[in-house]
């Protein structure tokens, strides 16, 4: 849901999933391919204070290089070596991607997160203000480094059904107007902010948003 609409889990949902797994002897696995290192250095599990048994990371773990990781409880991961569990892969531990992952993790400092988060909030809130000024009904919701822009919504989306009510056609026109102004935005409404997006990029993006909003309003 974070990838679709930057929707946080409902209060108690993750805790309930963990409790259900413990009751029935199942393993709780978090897919942090999107949320990992975007919602913070320790991912969504730290953000929402629920630790799964296993987690899957990719994408931001190596700044876009083709690498993924399975992390979790030692007694489960040890089964790859001693428990008869096979983990094959053509590109496992490929040197270039491993170097990219190490360099990326070293660059993900608390200071970097603090600076990028401030810029992300400025972009998110700036978009919301510009759309409101242009008379475009929209909800801009989510986190510091990833958020969602949903046209035609009167309240923040709580689930996928809510997202289906958004005005996707108008939003696609908006993204096309942005593209003409040098900004590539995903047509599904998701926005991502990285450490490389400096203040000049945020300013230029907001200016493009202002022009695109006037065009489609």
The domains of the chain, with CATH numbers, are 2-107 (3.40.640.10), 110-216 (3.90.1150.10)
pLDDT at 113: 96
pLDDT at 87: 83
pLDDT at 199: 98
pLDDT at 60: 92
DSSP letter string over the chain? -HHHH-PPPPTTHHHHHHHHHHHHTPPPEEE-TTTTTTS-TTHHHHHTT---SEEEE-GGGGTTSS--EEEE-HHHHTHHHHSS-----TTTT-HHHHHHHHHHHHH--HHHHHHHHHHHHHHHHHHHHHHHHTT--EEEEE-SSEEEEEET-SS---SHHHHTTS-HHHHHHHHHHHHHTT----TTSEEE--TT--HHHHHHHHHHHHHHHHHH-
pLDDT at 2: 84
CA distances from 121 to 102, 146, 163, 179 (A): 27, 9, 22, 22
Give the β-pairing of 29-31 and 54-57: parallel
Q: Which of 121, 122, 120, 153 is nearest to 136 (CA)?
A: 153
The rounded percent of the chain whose pLDDT value lies above 70 is 100
pLDDT at 10: 93
Confidence of residue 92 (pLDDT cuts 50, 70, 90): confident
Whether 91 shows a pLDDT value over 90: the answer reads no
Residue 203 Rama label (left phi>0; alpha psi -120 to 50; beta): alpha
Partnered with residue 55 across adjacent β-strands are 30, 71
What predicted TM-score, i.e. pTM, was given to this entire model? 0.91
Instruction: Give the span between the Cα atoms of 51 and 27, in whole angstroms.
Output: 11
- For residue range 36-88, what is the model confidence (pLDDT) as tens digits? 999 999 999 999 999 999 999 999 999 989 999 999 999 999 998 888 888 88
Instruction: Give the span between the Cα atoms of 60 and 107, in whole angstroms.
Output: 12
Instruction: Give the span between the Cα atoms of 1 and 120, in whole angstroms.
Output: 19
Q: What are phi and psi of 213, to 5 degrees?
A: -65, -45
- For residue range 153-197, what is the model confidence (pLDDT) as tens digits? 999 999 999 999 999 999 999 999 999 999 999 999 999 999 999
């Amino acid at each position: 849901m974070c990838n679709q609409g930057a929707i946080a889990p409902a209060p108690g949902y993750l805790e309930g999933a963990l409790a259900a797994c413990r009751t029935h002897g199942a393993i709780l696995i978090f897919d942090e391919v999107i949320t990992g290192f975007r919602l913070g250095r320790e991912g969504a599990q730290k953000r929402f204070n629920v630790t799964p048994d296993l987690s899957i990371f990719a994408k931001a773990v190596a700044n876009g290089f083709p690498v993924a990781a399975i992390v979790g409880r030692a007694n489960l991961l040890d089964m790859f070596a001693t428990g008869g569990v096979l983990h094959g892969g053509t590109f496992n531990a490929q040197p270039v991607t491993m170097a990219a992952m190490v360099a990326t993790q070293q660059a993900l400092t608390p200071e970097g997160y603090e600076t990028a988060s401030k810029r992300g909030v400025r972009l998110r809130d700036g978009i919301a203000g510009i759309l409101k000024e242009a008379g475009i009904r929209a909800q801009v919701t989510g986190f510091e480094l990833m958020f969602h822009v949903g046209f035609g919504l009167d309240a923040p989306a709580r689930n996928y059904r809510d997202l289906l009510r958004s005005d996707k056609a108008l939003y696609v026109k908006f993204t096309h107007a942005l593209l003409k102004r040098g900004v590539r935005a995903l047509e599904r409404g998701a926005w991502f902010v990285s450490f490389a997006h400096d203040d000049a990029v945020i300013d230029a993006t907001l200016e493009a948003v202002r022009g695109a909003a006037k065009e489609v309003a």
